[in-house]
Amino acid sequence: MSRSNNKANDADFEKNITSQPSFTLADINQKIGTTLRGDGSCVISTVASLTNAKAGALTFCENGKHTQHLKNTQASAVILTEEDLPHCPTHALISKQPYLSFTKVAALFSHTCALTPGIHPTAQIGQHCVIPSSVYIGPYVIIEDHVTLGEHTAIHAHSLIGHHSQLGAHCILWPRVTCYSFVSIGHHTAIHSGAVIGSDGFGYQPSPEGWQKVPQLGSVVIGNHVEIGANTTIDRGTLEATSLADGVKLDNLIQIAHNVQIGENTAIAACTGISGSTRIGKNCIIAGGVGFAGHLHITDNVTITGMAMVTKSIDEPGLYSSGTGLFTNKEWKKNIVRLRHLNELALRVKALEEGAK
């Protein structure tokens, strides 16, 4: 087993919070590839919304949506389009996509903490593990036998990694993440608290004696640059792998059943449920609360709006919705009454059409 021999005391494992950074506007301009208008020596020490920004803050204005607020902003600098520049009372960074540029700046001010590499004394490490000295393993982590971790990966408190699992470099598991056995995770992947990766798929077969459990012998394979939200669950495959390709982004409280495959750069919002053996393509956007029946195929570049119920495969890219918007209770009752007579009305219309021929 390869592992760090430096077991520090509790104090050595405390987070070293760095001081609040600051940058000149010229520095930021160079880092994010915008065009500077104004004083490049202006110091930026924080980011803020357009209406709440004060001196020292950088903010953004997206495509003229908030011009009235832009005129009165107290920010030291604003990221905006060329079209909005005449309304800006302060220094500016010009971008074709202001919000995207702003997110890059916000990352410079994120409240990340430096972690001292090493293994906390309360962690339990199994046999035949490969753990580089650059890895951080926090309090009460359990790592079972034959686990391999990549360089600079961080496993936070009370997480568990099952035997024969692999994590790539620069991964982060936040507190109380559970990875069952034989899970494979790529590089630069983040998994948030409470997520469960590799639990048994919901497989049962009826028999005279009751429900017979179908053994779930597959695994879970997760690619690079994936993010998995808090309390999201991903079931292992029945015989093969449940898989998430590179760049997939999952919100909190998502259920992904056994044998599901999700393509590159697809993003899925909270409370979506995906039934077994469904395949979702690349670059899809799935809004919150969407339900998928099993064994479906969703092609690339599909967007599905919130609370939709997907009962059949989608073969053409585009925007899809189902269900109805919100009504007052009185309107909803009237529409339901009419809906109950829809078949009768259709038959009457058909009879009238045939009589007119």
Please give the positions annotated as active site.
258
Residue 251 CB neighbours (<10 A): 20
Angle at 337 between CA 336 and CA 340, to 5 degrees: 85
Phi, psi of 259 (to 5 degrees): 75, 5
Q: What angle do CA 124, 131, 245 make, to 5 degrees?
A: 105
- Please write down the HEC assignment for all residues of 20-61: CCCEEHHHHHHHHCCEEECCCCCEECEECCCCCCCCCEEEEC
Alpha-carbon dihedral angle through residues 311, 315, 316, 322, given to the nearest 10 degrees:
0
CA of 317: how far to CAs of 248, 282, 292, in Å? 18, 10, 17
Q: Is the separation of the CB atoms in 176 and 193 below 8 Å? A: yes
DSSP 56-82: TEEEE--TTTTHHHHTT---SEEEE-G
Q: How far is CA 49 from the centre of its chain?
A: 23
Query: How far apart are alpha carbons 220 and 243 in whole angstroms?
Result: 6
Give the 3-state secondary structure of residue 283: coil
User: 21: exposed, middle or buried (C-beta count within 10 Å: 0-12, 13-18, 19+)?
Assistant: exposed
